[in-house]
Amino acid sequence: MQHLTALATWVMPTHTGTEALALILRWFHFLAGITWIGLLYFFNLVNVPFMKQVDAGMKPKVFQYLTLPALQWFRWSALVTVLVGFFYWQHMYVEVDAARMGVSPLSTIGLFLLIWIVAWGILFFVISKAPSGYVLGVITTIVVIAGAWLFVTYTPVGQDDNHVLSIGVGGGFGIIMLFNVWGIIWRNQKKIIQGTLAGTPPANGAALARQAFLASRTNFFLSVPMLFFMATSYHYVIFGR
């Protein structure tokens, strides 16, 4: 009998399909996120200072064999991170809370997308004007605080659910960062790299580089509160319960 009891402690616990799906989604989200944020920090902390020291004759090779491959991993890992995270948040928390409340989850999902897409649109306009970093920093701070307040205050679903609220804020920062990657950083860098490799750098290359730099620095600083709110969604209750 003692042997049977000891053996029972080694039996794997059973899991529901929903629990298994949650684990798989989190795993892909974490793996893609590590790749994305790791490359973001590489670009900002290592690559930007490095490129200032590279001779003009060496830049085409650096672009072709380092920058371009890194940007491919960078942009696709960003997309996977956000899409998987968004599906996880929607399926595991928003839809569950909506079912409990007897309402549609689309209201909260729609509000989330509206707030953070508009927030990015504002920042896109500001970055396109290539202001000083300090001005962009102040405007970014105001925009993301306003976006977070609007979502936490007015979301129809999950007003008392820390998961919905915290991910709704951190994930919103992730939406801005994703759009910066695809809408500014990749688009501008592609023009610069392709022009340089073809021997015809774009005439507005300096402006394109400046915009990409500002978008990348915005993402660099936004990654800190983004990761904070991702962590508080599960490990530390900051909103609701």
Which 3-state string (H, E, C) describes 42-98?
HHHHHHHHHHHHCCCCCHHHHHHHHHHHHHHHHHHHHHHHHHHHHHHHHHHHHHHHH
pLDDT band at residue 1 using 50, 70 and 90 as cut-offs: low
Give dist(CA 22, CA 88) in Å, integer. 7
pLDDT for the residue 211: 97
Higher pLDDT, 219 or 11: 219
Question: Which pLDDT tens digit goes with each residue over 21-48?
Answer: 888 999 999 999 999 999 999 999 999 9
Q: Is 70 exceeded by the pLDDT of residue 11?
A: no
Q: Are 212 and 202 in contact (CB under 8 A)?
A: no
CA distances from 153 to 88, 149, 161, 239 (A): 22, 6, 12, 11
Exposure string over 57-79, b if 16+ CB within 10 A, otherwise e: eebeebbeeebeeebeebbbbbe
Q: Which pair of tokens denotes residue 47?
A: 């690559």
Q: Which pair of tokens denotes residue 128?
A: 């396109």
pLDDT for the residue 215: 98
CA distances from 215 to 18, 80, 109, 158, 210 (A): 37, 19, 25, 31, 9
Cα dihedral value 184, 189, 192, 194, nearest 10: -120
pLDDT for the residue 152: 95
Q: What's the whole-model pTM score?
A: 0.91
Q: Are 158 and 240 in contact (CB under 8 A)?
A: yes
Domain boundaries along the sequence of the chain? 82-235
Q: Is 80 exceeded by the pLDDT of residue 77?
A: yes
Q: For the chain, give the percent of residues with pLDDT over 70.
A: 93
Question: Which pLDDT tens digit goes with each residue over 196-225?
Answer: 898 888 999 999 999 999 999 999 999 999
